[in-house]
Structure 1
């Protein structure tokens, strides 16, 4: 909508500029036009009405009936102003071009083309000998009339092509705005889903651990209870009855072995219950969602990035990548984005580079300021810069910050 408003304003400025040129021509060439003084006053009134009608058409361009009414008045005003100049067409050129600008912009194609041809035809027909304020005015020469019509057609074609180009750009911008909103929403939904899935998984993990602990308690309790019962039973037999005692001790040993085996199985299951690390889940899902929504190719190099589970750092990295992807698509119009991780002795390094047109690295938007604030809170730094290939975001976070919650 913003680009459409800019386009409307541009055409309005062109129309009013042509009006102004015509006004200056008239008042600085009054003697040359050889018109009575009365016509100067009439010209000023009609000129004011013409500018007013143009402004009304611009302001109420969404109301078709209003636009139609004032287009008719605007066209009539043009013909009334132009007729007295007879064979002096230089001033009428400016007024004609101003009217064509209004017609071509404020009416859709091909209606604007048809109206332009009608206005040109009627304007040429009216260039005939007549008396104006009892002063005979001769018609323009054939060459002047042909030139008048030719330049009118050329201006009409140029303005129509310009209008079509602007319409296409406006349409593209509206589509891009819609896609921006869709991509942003998809990423937000994906983030919400991942957070929800993480909560569910954490709850599931806690519940599973509780169940395993209960199972372990039951296994150990049952095994030791059976062993104690067998030992108590063995005490009832006299020392001479070694066969019975041997059988009981054998059963006790079997119970102990069974309990040990079952305990090992449970402990192994607990050891296998690990939280997924950042690089295998969250970022991968984010990138896949982004690629599906935008068709922008994203390549990730994990480098020597280790597995870690620092929730705060994960969220910061996620937000930096999310904001950078959206900016590369929305503002940079990028088709390729490369994400590189690397861990040196002191810092975790992240580079996000695209092949888009980038922007002014000295001007930070709300998103970039937010990234800078979040990274600085953990002692890190982030840099935005233009490169030969496009635009790059470089982030660095101290290694000790990552290890805090591990």
Structure 2
């Protein structure tokens, strides 16, 4: 049963017992005044319970008014003392808070004692039993109210925890989806990077060896000794390239880059390229030279490597100029060959690889070419 309905039933039972005790006490001498006072008591506590139940201060004054009416009614009409003050006791415990509740109980207790002493027939036994019953009922009701409040707070806390748990489960689900998408994206990037590594390292080495083999084939018809030396140099280059491929498979970075920092790998790259291709490469720096970090060195290394390979393979160049300018804000890499050039440049695998590498670290790429005027490539790293 609902607690409010139970309280209503208890109130009506108490009112019924009060009326019965008055009628029994006065026998057949119930007057219109008696009925009016009792009606005022009933109307007051009904208004308090059903209308004023949200306003604590008005409830308090209503309880005091009912206690005064109960005092006058008991003094004039008699009846069972306990039933006059029982409903105010219940309301004081249930409907008032803290200090007001204690004040209400004190007033009820004092009026109970005063009502007994002001009555024509003082009954100490009835006074003590009524007062004890009022205090016990108050404490019992107050305890029930506090336990109910604790239960309500526990339920509210449980609801908050349940909502928090649902949010946490959702956040965990979202995090798992995000982690899965990041894993897929990382896998795609890694595959793309491996593709570039294979193209840059293996492709460059094979292009150089093909050119050298063609040269050896021609020289061998005229001079076997020179062809033998060229074949020996090519063998050494092939061994070095194999080591580079193995290093790329292990760490996807060139061996020279791990062993040296800064510009040394780039200088070694240019030196080997000139030695095996015969193409003249001029490398110049600005006076103020940065200490390149690993990421910058790696990108510049691969860009120069790709440019040299394309200049020889596609441009048939015999000379390449490379200039690296270190400013206060950026690094500018400018490369130009004297190759065939072209009016319309199609972005193949090589240019795409350069563009991707530079843009991954926030750089910019631009190029220009005209037929018969070679190819110009400009890279800016911030």
TM over 0.5: yes
Asked if the contact 1:22/1:94 (under 8 Å) is kept, the reply is: yes
Segment of structure 1 superposing worse, 190-199 or 256-265: 256-265
Rounded to whole Å, the distance in 2 between the matches of 1:128 and 1:107 is 28
Q: 2:101 is matched with which residue: 93, 96, 112?
A: 112
Q: Does 1:51 align with 2:46?
A: yes
Q: Report the alpha carbon displacement of residue 32 of structure 1 after superposing the two structures with TM.
A: 1.0
Q: Matched residues in 2 for 1:245 and 1:95: separation?
A: 128
The residue number in structure 1 matching 2:295 is none
Residue 56 of structure 2: aligned partner: 67
Higher relative contact order (CA 8 A, sep 6+): 1
Aligned with 2:116: secondary structure? coil
Q: Give the Cα separation in 2 of the matches to 1:27 and 1:69.
A: 26
Match of 1:33 in 2: 25
Q: 1:22 to 1:37 in 2, by over 3 A?
A: farther
1:107 Cα deviation (Å)?
2.5
CA RMSD of aligned residues (A): 3.1
| Structure 1 residue 254, shift from structure 2 partner | 3.8
Asked whether the equivalents of residues 97 and 152 of structure 1 are also in contact (C-alpha less than 8 Å), the reply is: yes
| 8 Å Cα contact 1:117-1:153 kept in structure 2 | no
Whether 1:103 aligns to 2:97 is no
- TM-score w.r.t. the length of structure 1 is 0.53
Match of 1:164 in 2: 146
1:253-294 superposed Cα distances (whole Å, 9 cap, x missing partner)? 344444444445545569xxxxxxxxxxxxxxxxxxxxxxxx
| Residues 271-319 of structure 1: CA deviation (Å, up to 9, x unaligned) | xxxxxxxxxxxxxxxxxxxxxxxxxxxxxxxxxxxxxxxxxxxxxxxxx
Instruction: Tell me: CA distance 1:212–1:139, structure 2 relative to 1, closer, same or farther (3 Å).
Output: farther
1:24 aligns with 2:16: yes
Structure 2 unmatched runs, 5+: 253-382
Structure 1 distance, partners of 2:85, 2:228, is: 120
| Contact kept? 1:57, 1:71, Cα under 8 Å | no
CA shift for structure 1 position 95: 4.6
Q: Structure 2-normalised TM-score? A: 0.56
Q: What is the SS of the residue equivalent to 1:227?
A: helix
Residue aligned with 1:57, SS: coil
For structure 1, the residue ranges without an aligned partner over 5 or more in a row are: 1-5, 61-65, 131-137, 271-406
Larger Rg: 1 or 2? Answer: 2
